Amino acid sequence: MAAMENGECDVQEALGSINVHNFTEKILEQNVHFHVMKFGGGFFLWVGSNAVLSNLAVSISSKYDSMPLSTLVMGDTSDTTASSLSQRLAKKTKKQVFVSYNLPMTDSNLTLLVENTIKKEMELHPDKF
Amino acid sequence: MMAPQPLIKSNQAERTINGLPTQVVCTEFSNYIFIVLTQYGKIGTLVSVTPDTRSGDISVPMFTSRVLLGKDEPLTHVYAKNVATFVSQESGNRPVLLGLSLKDNGAQTMKTIKDMIKSCQVW
């Protein structure tokens, strides 16, 4: 352990407690649920209308590219919604972002409204992300 | 009016094991149980542990583990199967998605962590 006065304190701060935040928004006549798990250096965000986990993407900022790196670790690779959403959220927050998007991908209007809802919630509760 | 129950059920536990702050978060999905085990405050290595459907007729079920993100080491598979098997069995054979980032991979710590998982059962 380094003999810095605040060393221990900083480690504790960095570890922090994993924080869970749930919210629901009616978008285009349907209830869309959001589940956020904030951890050290990033967060996990699940979006859906029923409790299924059908895909998972992860993004992290890179110093070599203005756009964060993104990869799909679970689910259908032809559906890029989770991947691109995590990429945009990683760019916005500069954090590691996991996204699971479980709404019909056919409706791009819905996707846009969902993204706006997330951004609005981030402004309202920046400590939760 | 009472706040509606969130659709996604989750429980968490925090304990210090051998001086290391340890956190467990269990989250229930209809097709998965998601468990984060961390001593770094991160999700870390992502591993899926899936029950083998062909093993329905034999007494000892088989599980397949797959590292989805992070370093693919033999110990990770052993660890993941060890902590996730009982969760899968108790949750109607649901696959388990595990986020692993531990400083101490010892057997005694694993036993305590399994108790912590039991204490935040969501299934």
CATH code at B79? 3.30.230.90
For A4-33, write each residue's pLDDT tens digit: 333 344 444 456 789 999 999 999 999 999
| pLDDT tens sequence for chain B (123 residues) | 456 689 999 999 999 999 999 999 999 999 999 999 999 999 999 999 999 876 556 666 799 999 999 999 999 999 999 999 999 999 999 999 999 999 999 999 999 999 999 999 999
Mean pLDDT, chain A, whole residue set: 89
Q: What is the pTM for the complete model shown?
A: 0.90
Within a domain: residue B3? no
ipTM of the complex, rounded to two decimals: 0.91
Q: Rounded to the nearest 5°, which phi and psi values hold at A112?
A: -65, -45
Our CA-based measurement puts residue B40 at a distance from the nearest CA of chain A, in whole angstroms, of 6
* DSSP secondary structure letter of residue B99: E
- pLDDT tens by residue, A24-66: 999 999 999 999 999 999 999 999 999 999 999 999 988 888 9
Interface of B with A (CB under 8 A): 4, 6-8, 10, 12, 14, 21, 23, 25, 27-32, 34, 36, 38, 40-43, 46, 48, 68-69, 97
Q: Is residue B1 part of a domain?
A: no
- Distance (Å) from the alpha carbon of B30 to chain A's nearest alpha carbon: 5
Best of B1, B2, B5, B8 to disrupt the A interface (most A CBs within 10 Å) is B8
Assess if residue B68 is contained within a domain: yes
Determine, yes or no, domain membership for B2: no
Number of other CB atoms surrounding residue A70 within 10 Å? 21
Q: How many domains does chain B have?
A: 1
Whether B40 is covered by a domain: the verdict is yes
Confidence grade of residue A98 (pLDDT, cut at 50, 70, 90): very high
Task: Using alpha carbons, select from B43, B44, B27, B57 the residue that is nearest to residue B121.
Answer: B27
Residues spanned by the domain of B65: 9-119
List domains and CATH numbers for chain A: 18-128 (3.30.230.100)
CA nearest to A71, candidates A52, A89, A87, A88: A87
Residue B44 in any domain: the answer is: yes
Across the interface, whether the CB atoms of A40 and B40 are under 8 A apart is answered yes
